């Protein structure tokens, strides 16, 4: 930890292959949410001037990078992944200090970045198009992927290395250059990831890192005329602003936003397994995942037994500093997030939901300098309550009793989001019906709502996103354009749909 007398570590933006201070000379603190006395470092408070330099650098580098063969681009990504493997524990430690989740989870976050970077390195030799017979003789037809230009990437704090890898990996392998603006709560993990790319041999200007807040750095990046595509992960309110900013120029834009995810527990479920899933889904990352299971719909036949086990397990969770290996759940990311959770606890009580456990801020003793809150469960909830409809993004779970399968599906679909859902059942018919009827981008059977893997598409329906998907080969469809090619070697004019009668 940084002592009170030690000089703070000063970090810089990465622009045109150089580490630079913000043009204004201003910086912001990055502090440990488990102990705000722990100053991680000072990071550049960037402005539109810094963003412009970064975008100009990316635009200049694009001309050479797009012509670099994809397998050569892949070799750089592969070397970066190797560096992440070597530094995994160190990077996880940095991440826990800056965003709070326990070391087991931050190791998983780094591993996800490793997995994604390796995966996208593999796509350097697999960006397959298609060849198809032409309807005319002596004519060849095929489709290929083409790069787009400069990608503006805005990433959140809850997965501060994994999500940058989701965006940078496919952007780079498709031949785009990038400017990334990480969340101001977690700039160090993005810094570490970009540093690995630099050390792996990424050419100057291909990736640029600009740190700062949303209005000062994020908004100018999204609006910049030389940014050709934008990928944003964050809140729905900000996502709408991003979409509106991109719309006038018809700028390609992908949005990954909120969720109000549900676990359905049927009367034939393995209850212990369902409780395990509800604990992990609801309180993993302190409930600060877009895929967090903040709702649980339980069949009335097993409701009492499930609640007893669920509450008992939640009360046993050890809250504390994520660097302590005995900790099960760390702090909220900042004071604002803690206040939001506390406000929703009051809302839940006012809605006459029953507070089964938790409900309080932890601020005494070891908790005095951090943003801690108890794991909280509301029982006997009505699905129309605000705590069952609105994204809280904290360790608060609402449990809803249901009469049967049909009601559970209706409850699952009765929110404005559509990211992830889960059903626990031994009935294979109901499992397949749930997979068909639930309107989310991800459905789990006998597993919680969290745990996405890098080689499958990630994203949601309704107000969770705008139809695109991240991860896997689905990401290539956003970061590249299809180009269709026709080669006529007949040595005469041939007109498709017109001259086919004479073929």
Report residue 139 as tokens. 């004519």
Apex 326 CA angle, 323 and 327, nearest 5: 65
pLDDT on residue 2: 45
Spatial distance between the Cα atoms of 293 and 349, rounded to a whole number of angstroms: 20
Give buried/exposed letters for 89-99 (b at 16+ CB in 10 A, else e). Answer: eebbbbbbbbb
Q: What is the mean pLDDT of residues 27-52?
A: 97
Neighbouring residues of 86: CB distance < 8 A, sequence distance ≥ 6: none
Strands (E), 204-294: 207-209, 229-233, 252-256, 262-265
Q: What is the mean pLDDT of residues 87-93?
A: 98
Spatial distance between the Cα atoms of 66 and 338, rounded to a whole number of angstroms: 44
Pairwise pLDDT comparison (363 vs 1), residue with the higher score: 363
CB 103 within 8 A of CB 325: yes
Spatial distance between the Cα atoms of 365 and 291, rounded to a whole number of angstroms: 32
HSE at residue 386, side-chain half, CA atoms within 13 A, is 12
Spatial distance between the Cα atoms of 453 and 255, rounded to a whole number of angstroms: 19
The share of the chain scoring above pLDDT 70, in percent, equals: 99
Q: What is the mean pLDDT of residues 245-274?
A: 97
Query: What is the pLDDT confidence band of residue 72, given thresholds at 50, 70 and 90?
Result: very high
Spatial distance between the Cα atoms of 251 and 242, rounded to a whole number of angstroms: 10
Strands (E), 21-160: 27-32, 35-44, 130-133, 139-146, 150-154
CA distances from 185 to 22, 188, 198 (A): 17, 9, 23
Query: What does the mean pLDDT of the chain come to?
Result: 96
Q: What is the mean pLDDT of residues 201-207?
A: 98
Q: How many residues does the chain have?
A: 503
Query: What is the pLDDT confidence band of residue 502, given thresholds at 50, 70 and 90?
Result: low
Whether the per-residue pLDDT at 202 is higher than 60: the answer is yes
Q: 497 — phi, psi (to 5°)? A: 70, -10
Q: DSSP class of residue 7?
A: P
List, by residue number, the catalytic residues.
256, 290
Spatial distance between the Cα atoms of 150 and 206, rounded to a whole number of angstroms: 9
Query: What is the pLDDT confidence band of residue 73, given thresholds at 50, 70 and 90?
Result: very high
pLDDT on residue 406: 98
Q: What is the mean pLDDT of residues 458-485?
A: 96
pLDDT on residue 500: 79
Nearest to 331 by CA among 339, 343, 323, 319: 319
pLDDT on residue 5: 56
Residues 269-293: tens digit of each pLDDT: 999 999 999 999 999 999 999 999 9
Spatial distance between the Cα atoms of 477 and 460, rounded to a whole number of angstroms: 16
Spatial distance between the Cα atoms of 75 and 408, rounded to a whole number of angstroms: 48
The residue with tokens 């599906």 is: 409
pLDDT on residue 7: 86
Q: What is the mean pLDDT of residues 387-391?
A: 98
Whether the per-residue pLDDT at 503 is higher than 80: the answer is no
DSSP helix/strand/coil, 257:
coil
Whether the per-residue pLDDT at 48 is higher than 60: the answer is yes
Q: Which domains does the chain have, with CATH numbers?
A: 13-257+465-483 (3.40.605.10), 262-445 (3.40.309.10)
Query: What is the pLDDT confidence band of residue 1, given thresholds at 50, 70 and 90?
Result: very low
Residues 109-146: tens digit of each pLDDT: 999 999 999 999 999 999 999 999 999 999 999 999 99
DSSP helix/strand/coil, 488:
strand
Compute the Cα dihedral for 302, 307, 312, 313 and give only its sign.
positive
Residues 306-359: tens digit of each pLDDT: 999 999 999 999 999 999 999 999 999 999 999 999 999 999 999 999 999 999
Whether the per-residue pLDDT at 3 is higher than 50: the answer is no
Q: What is the mean pLDDT of residues 209-223?
A: 97
């Amino acid at each position: 930890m940084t002592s009170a007398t030690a000089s703070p570590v000063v970090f810089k933006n990465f622009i045109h292959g150089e580490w630079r201070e913000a043009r204004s000379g201003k910086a912001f603190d990055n502090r440990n949410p488990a102990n705000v006395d722990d100053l991680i470092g000072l990071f550049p408070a960037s402005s539109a001037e810094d963003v412009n330099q970064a975008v100009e650098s990316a635009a200049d580098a694009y001309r050479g990078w797009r012509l670099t063969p994809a397998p050569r681009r892949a070799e750089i990504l592969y070397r970066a992944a190797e560096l992440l493997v070597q530094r995994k524990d160190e990077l996880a430690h940095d991440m826990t200090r800056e965003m709070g989740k326990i070391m087991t989870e931050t190791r998983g976050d780094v591993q996800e970045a490793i997995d994604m970077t390796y995966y996208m390195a593999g796509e350097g030799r697999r960006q397959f198009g298609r060849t198809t017979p032409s309807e005319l003789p002596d004519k060849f037809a095929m489709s290929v992927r083409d790069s787009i230009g400069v990608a503006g990437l805005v990433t959140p704090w809850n997965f501060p290395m994994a999500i940058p890898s989701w965006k940078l990996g496919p952007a780079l392998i498709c031949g785009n250059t990038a400017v990334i603006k990480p969340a101001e709560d977690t700039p160090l993990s993005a810094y570490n990831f970009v540093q690995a790319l630099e050390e792996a041999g990424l050419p100057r200007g291909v990736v640029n890192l600009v740190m700062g807040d949303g209005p000062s750095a994020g908004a100018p990046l999204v609006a910049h005329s030389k940014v050709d595509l934008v990928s944003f992960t964050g809140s729905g309110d900000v996502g709408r602003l991003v979409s509106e900013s991109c719309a006038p120029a018809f700028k390609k834009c992908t949005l990954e936003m909120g969720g109000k995810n549900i676990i359905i527990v049927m009367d034939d479920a393995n209850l212990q397994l369902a409780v395990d899933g509800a604990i992990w889904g609801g309180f993993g990352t302190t409930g600060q995942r877009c895929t967090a299971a903040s709702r649980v719909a339980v069949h009335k036949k097993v409701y009492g037994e499930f609640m007893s086990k669920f509450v008992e397990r939640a009360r046993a969770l050890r809250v504390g500093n994520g660097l302590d290996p005995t900790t099960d759940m760390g702090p909220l990311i900042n004071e604002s997030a803690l206040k939001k959770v506390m406000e929703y606890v009051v809302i839940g009580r006012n809605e006459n939901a029953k507070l089964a456990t938790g409900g309080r801020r932890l601020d005494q003793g070891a908790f005095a300098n951090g943003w801690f809150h108890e794991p909280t469960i509301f029982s006997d909830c009505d699905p129309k309550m605000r705590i069952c409809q609105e994204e809280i993004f904290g360790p608060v779970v609402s449990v809803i009793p249901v009469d049967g399968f049909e009601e559970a599906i209706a409850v699952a679909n009765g929110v404005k989001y559509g990211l992830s859902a889960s059903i626990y059942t031994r009935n294979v018919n109901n499992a397949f019906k749930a997979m068909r009827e639930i309107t989310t981008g991800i459905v789990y059977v006998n597993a919680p709502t969290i745990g996405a893997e890098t080689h499958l598409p990630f994203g949601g329906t309704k107000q969770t996103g705008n139809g695109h998907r991240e991860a896997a080969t689905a990401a290539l469809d956003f970061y590249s354009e299809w180009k269709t090619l026709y080669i006529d070697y007949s040595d005469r004019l041939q007109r498709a749909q017109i001259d086919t009668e004479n073929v």
